[in-house]
Structure 1
């Protein structure tokens, strides 16, 4: 009998200790993953694209390869570019872009642009206002453009021919589930090293896009407007993006000048790969 009492007492003590341990373990809070910052989905234009998605989140990365074909009365231009963009911290996007341009004469004109490593672009963009309530994002940014001398002139001219300083402002809004609008605007301060003055031009780009339901595809139109030497110029760029898979997309753009210009029909494509 005494042995039974001892066994029962030990068993009760074991059960009490076990229940206490389980209860204590249940009371220990389990660490949850950090919440992501708010972000509104906006469609990014394809021709004048953004440095990074508006409201970028830390760690986002993307590579773009693109080609541009333009026709004028005197020559054809073939341009290629490569971009790498990333977000080192939340809401800040950085980008480096390289541009090459090649020209082919199609008339008797003697003076046409020369083949060159066109530009090196270094850009930063910060989304300072993100509202999921109003589906709106505002951002500011800056692009430093370094212009290079044509290949055949490198023997007797400096490597860098000039600089462009391009601060900009972006306002984007989603209207309902599928319609998107965006404004990208700012001055362009152009400094050519062979002159003693700086030109100030303006770019005012607007776009309207429609996201195709139940997909990541979209169609839309960009109106790229510039004031160059006091003259207003505008090119309309209808466009569409096809999402191949989660990481890969292809953008197709056509260009139609609205104001009188030497430039005729143009076409542009962009291959987008998110890392």
Structure 2
């Protein structure tokens, strides 16, 4: 797993180095020249590993918290993530998500799942196309998550990891107008469970439409679709983002199930800080 993640990262670095050499040739001796970067609205629930067309040295810290009504109990979810561009158009991310659980008013006696740090995610993303003519950016990436066991299992059984996931992704974004932005984020998520030695595969397709105001704030709609052997899942997530300063923004997201499954309405906030 680590070898695969390292190999993909080295491959992306190699591609990026070649692209930079071509860019240097075009820019000749202009050391101040920066690669082209288009601004695209970034979804708030399933966000990008780094801005499309990110430039070397850019970095960002995100902290989020959400609540999901799971009918039998309430799940409180949160995460902290740090993303940075190690080279032009090449971004890396480290994320630590966690979950805690509480009773609903009607199920106070039912057992709850164990609170847990969900895992640690390591991700990389390379923007291979930035077209000013077509106002389009495209990228490929890879996410590797080591899934931690629940805190009770770690404490009682010493079982630290319960599985891992492999998630290659493809991203395409296009600005239809200066204010209307679209973005597609898709890829398979393959989960390997260590104890049962089983695999689960889900195909994720996330389509987004945002209206971006002149000051960078936006309102939009994110749709998260999952396709597996079970019934497809479809969640609609209306959202908005407000900037309090050039460095600090707040995003608010609601989750509305649209596929008739057992999910209920959820909500999440995301605080975005650019150091």
TM-score range, shorter chain: 0.7 to 0.9
2 CA distance for matches of 1:54 and 1:199? 30
Shift, 1:83, TM fit: 0.5
Gapped regions of structure 1 (runs ≥ 5): 1-30
| Among candidates 83, 86, 89, match of residue 88 of structure 1 | 86
| Among candidates 51, 58, 61, match of residue 59 of structure 2 | 61
1:169 lines up with 2:202 in the alignment: no
* Deviations, residues 107-140 of structure 1 (Å, cap 9, x unaligned): 4474542201112110000001110110001100
1:185 lines up with 2:186 in the alignment: yes
- Structure 1 counterpart SS, 2:264: strand
Aligned to 1:6: none
Aligned to 1:232: 232
Residues 149 and 157 in structure 1, CA contact (< 8 A), matched pair in contact too = no
Aligned to 2:48: 50
2 CA distance for matches of 1:126 and 1:115? 34
* Deviations, residues 194-222 of structure 1 (Å, cap 9, x unaligned): 1222111111001000011x311100000
Aligned to 1:159: 160
Aligned to 2:268: 268
Aligned to 1:78: 76
Aligned to 1:137: 137
Gapped regions of structure 2 (runs ≥ 5): 1-28
Shift, 1:40, TM fit: 1.1
* Deviations, residues 149-189 of structure 1 (Å, cap 9, x unaligned): 11111121510000000000001000121000000000011
Counterparts of 1:219-258 in structure 2, within 5 Å, are 219-258=219-258
2 CA distance for matches of 1:183 and 1:128? 15
1 CA distance for matches of 2:158 and 2:195? 10
Aligned to 2:114: 114
Residues 57 and 87 in structure 1, CA contact (< 8 A), matched pair in contact too = yes
Shift, 1:32, TM fit: 5.3
- Structure 2 counterpart SS, 1:152: helix
Residues 199 and 229 in structure 1, CA contact (< 8 A), matched pair in contact too = no
TM-score with structure 1 length normalisation? 0.86
2 CA distance for matches of 1:222 and 1:113? 28
Runs of 4+ with >4 A deviation: none
Shift, 1:73, TM fit: 1.2
Residues 80 and 101 in structure 1, CA contact (< 8 A), matched pair in contact too = yes
1:97 lines up with 2:95 in the alignment: yes
Shift, 1:263, TM fit: 1.9
* Deviations, residues 238-259 of structure 1 (Å, cap 9, x unaligned): 0000011111100011111001
Q: After superposing the two structures, state which structure 1 stretch, 148-157 or 95-104, moved more.
A: 148-157
Shift, 1:33, TM fit: 4.5
2 CA distance for matches of 1:113 and 1:255? 22
Shift, 1:68, TM fit: 1.0
Shift, 1:80, TM fit: 1.2
CA RMSD of superposed structures (Å): 1.4
- Structure 1 counterpart SS, 2:232: strand
